Structure 1
Amino acid sequence: MSEILIKEINEQPHIIQNLIDSEYKVIKGISDKIKGKFNYALIAARGTSDNAARYAQYLFGTYNEIPIALATPSLYTVYNKPPKLSDALVIGISQSGQSPDIVAVIENAKKQGQTTLCITNQPDSPLGNAADYVIPLHCGEEKAVAATKTYTASLTALAMLSIAMSNDMEREKALANLPPVLEETIKAAMETNVNTCRYRYIEHCVVIGRGYNYATAFEIALKIKELTRVVSVPYSSADFKHGPIAAVQPGFPVVMVAPSGEMYGQMKEFSKKMHELEAEIISISDQKEITEGSNLGFRIPAGVPEWVSPIACVLPGQLFARQLAFEKGLNIDKPVGLSKVTETF
């Protein structure tokens, strides 16, 4: 049984609380300084950090009316054809701050006179040194190869920046109330996880989310791949209907993220369709009709606003992936073929 990964998963409520306490005033100051200097944001990231960027697309688009584009680092490092930028905020997200291609995007943006910011667990890293502004994640050392606490901290940092830019006191209060919700979510998920053993022989699955939790689908699918070697593919529920749904046969594993919010009606209809196709449904939701109707249902506490739900919804996914790896007899802390710091060029 993993000691490192489970420890880091359990640290997340405390880390989120510490991040809010330590950095909100700093982030508000950054927001004040960059206000009016950009019309859109470009985010450069890889892996888990790229999934955080997907969350930012919905978050800033909805609450700040700021378009968010995802960078293509290979244009900078391989093709040597970086896009011409104007009136942009360029954000780099990297837990280690060491990936050369992400650093290259920030450095090029500065050469073009754009405002740059980074979110990293290593503020003294090459990425931290390259950016105009740095938001440190305060996660401590993340020893497990599979990132958990740096992901939820990255989501929280993005949420804090969005709140600061909009001066939204209601959302600020909702974020402040989140750490106890995360503790409750972890506790409930660990109790549910005893039934994960039934999936120890699966070789493939899909992970479905939409809206804010499109990012959650990608992150859970990544954790399943990293830890279990199961081929897990993330989809929007809308995209899944455009062809991939044909792969669903009786017993086909479908992980579904369906919390309350604007997308709940869509996800409820998707769940109904999966039942009709006799899929094996693993759900994450605060709605009993979803979790109790699933083959394996992970409950999150009621009342979590949709915009912040990805921070809670990913936790059962992390624990499910970890438990599935254990059931398969795999090395949880050191998955085959992976290293903690990945440098891409």
Structure 2
Amino acid sequence: MSFMLREIHEQPDVIARLVTEEQSSADKLAREIERREINFIIMAARGTSDHAAIYGKYLLEIRNKLPVALADPSIFTLYSAELKLDRALVIGISQSGQATDVAEYLKRSKEFGALTAAITNEPGSTISQVADHTILCHAGAEKGVAATKTYTSTLAALYLLSASLSQDVSHAERQLKRCAEAIESAITLEGYCADRAERYRFMQDGYVISRGFNYCTALEMALKLAETSYTGLLAYSAADFLHGPIAAVHESEPCFLCAPPGKAYEAMLDMARRLSERKAETVIISSDDEILSLATTPIKIEIDVEEELTPLVYIIPGQMFAYFLAVTRGYDPDRPRGLSKVTLTR
């Protein structure tokens, strides 16, 4: 079994382990946020970690009423800007903990008065040494170049922090355990994804669309397909997609939709109908039969979780599909061309 596929299978255990090991770290950070009367958050990340940060933005703004911005590290690394950050929390996210621009952003933010935190899979890494607080992913060594288990564990870490801030830890622990079960169920789609990948062997471009909490899922799925199968699919929020890009959809254009139950579902159902009218080739991930009936390739999620946790479950078919599409094309998903496990930028 390849590293990537093995690590996809490990995700339920990783989530369960993080809940056990990191609740106290999340609590300590939450109490310091309260003590210092933090009133806004900035998240610094790149690549897959940046997609996790987008999830954190939705979560902390909706559940905890804290405005969240996504950092542009170059304001420090290239432009040497100065910011007023004495009431800010700056969270650096890096699975390896070695992202040089994220570490620099944390360091400079600390100098300007910010409370700082790191979310990483590597204890003792650069960003954990710089930050005031660290939440570890407990994913174990991730050998696959395309991140899988460190992504979902980062989402779980952000969920734990949000729950600690709202003092709803018991509920969060129960929901994360149910989420681990839902991920286990989604992994059983492996054979189905392997079979369906052949249909998309020659796919070169298209779109991945979702909305709300799962905007990050669209971004991450498009990235996984690019990393492993070298496709050029573009990811969009369903709302943004209607502001122009939908005009470019032609007959048989591949369009992947992530549509869990929740507040964004009706928008996704409308999108599926519009794409059906345009005779697009739709791959729809959902638990709802109505929207799945519109799909060229339906992918059914059998276990529902609360909307805030659906990104942890709905990315699983995306990871599986990316893996099997690469294999179908004769590529090695563990050795994507031009990529390494740690990418250093400034």
TM-score by length of structure 1 reads 0.97
SS in 2 for 1:31: helix
1:88 aligns with 2:85: no
Aligned residue pairs, count: 344
- Separation in 1 of the partners of 2:35 and 2:191? 45
What are the Cα deviations for residues 84-120 of structure 1, in whole angstroms up to 9, with x where unaligned? 3230000000001111110011001111121000000
- Separation in 1 of the partners of 2:120 and 2:190? 28
Are 1:190 and 1:319, in contact at CA under 8 Å, matched by a contact in 2?
no
Deviation at 1:330, TM superposition (A): 0.9
Structure 2 residue runs without a partner (length 5+): none
Match for residue 12 of structure 1? 11
Are 1:51 and 1:218, in contact at CA under 8 Å, matched by a contact in 2?
yes
Which residue type is aligned with residue 66 of structure 1? L
Match for residue 135 of structure 2? 135
Deviation at 1:293, TM superposition (A): 2.7
Deviation at 1:339, TM superposition (A): 0.5
Are 2:40 and 2:89, in contact at CA under 8 Å, matched by a contact in 1?
yes
Match for residue 200 of structure 2? 199
- Separation in 2 of the partners of 1:193 and 1:290? 22
SS in 2 for 1:76: helix
SS in 2 for 1:234: strand
Are 2:178 and 2:305, in contact at CA under 8 Å, matched by a contact in 1?
no
What are the Cα deviations for residues 44-97 of structure 1, in whole angstroms up to 9, with x where unaligned? 000000000000111011100011100000111111124332300000000011
Which residue type is aligned with residue 9 of structure 1? I
- Separation in 2 of the partners of 1:273 and 1:172? 39
SS in 1 for 2:93: strand
Match for residue 284 of structure 1? 285
Deviation at 1:246, TM superposition (A): 1.1
SS in 2 for 1:216: helix
Alignment of 1:114-193 (within 5 A): 114-168=114-168, 169-193=170-194
- Separation in 2 of the partners of 1:304 and 1:310? 10
- Separation in 1 of the partners of 2:255 and 2:225? 12
- Separation in 1 of the partners of 2:113 and 2:85? 9
Which residue type is aligned with residue 21 of structure 2? S
Match for residue 255 of structure 1? 256
Match for residue 209 of structure 1? 210
- Separation in 1 of the partners of 2:316 and 2:133? 29
- Separation in 1 of the partners of 2:35 and 2:67? 14
Which residue type is aligned with residue 41 of structure 2? A
Are 2:90 and 2:106, in contact at CA under 8 Å, matched by a contact in 1?
yes
Which residue type is aligned with residue 138 of structure 2? H
Alignment of 1:35-54 (within 5 A): 35-37=34-36, 38-54=38-54
Match for residue 64 of structure 1? 64
Are 1:58 and 1:211, in contact at CA under 8 Å, matched by a contact in 2?
yes
Are 1:123 and 1:135, in contact at CA under 8 Å, matched by a contact in 2?
no
SS in 2 for 1:255: strand
- Separation in 2 of the partners of 1:157 and 1:86? 24
Which residue type is aligned with residue 184 of structure 1? S
What are the Cα deviations for residues 27-46 of structure 1, in whole angstroms up to 9, with x where unaligned? 12221232142101000000
Which residue type is aligned with residue 19 of structure 1? L
Are 1:120 and 1:134, in contact at CA under 8 Å, matched by a contact in 2?
yes
- Separation in 1 of the partners of 2:106 and 2:272? 41
- Separation in 2 of the partners of 1:118 and 1:178? 24
Are 1:202 and 1:230, in contact at CA under 8 Å, matched by a contact in 2?
yes
Q: What RMSD over aligned residues (CA atoms) do the two structures have, in Å?
A: 1.2
What are the Cα deviations for residues 303-328 of structure 1, in whole angstroms up to 9, with x where unaligned? 31111000000000000011111111
- How many percent identity over aligned positions? 41
- Separation in 1 of the partners of 2:249 and 2:206? 10
What are the Cα deviations for residues 261-287 of structure 1, in whole angstroms up to 9, with x where unaligned? 001011101100010000000111111
Are 2:116 and 2:133, in contact at CA under 8 Å, matched by a contact in 1?
yes
Match for residue 107 of structure 1? 107
Match for residue 236 of structure 2? 235
Are 1:208 and 1:214, in contact at CA under 8 Å, matched by a contact in 2?
yes
Are 2:207 and 2:254, in contact at CA under 8 Å, matched by a contact in 1?
yes
Deviation at 1:173, TM superposition (A): 2.2
TM-score by length of structure 2 reads 0.97
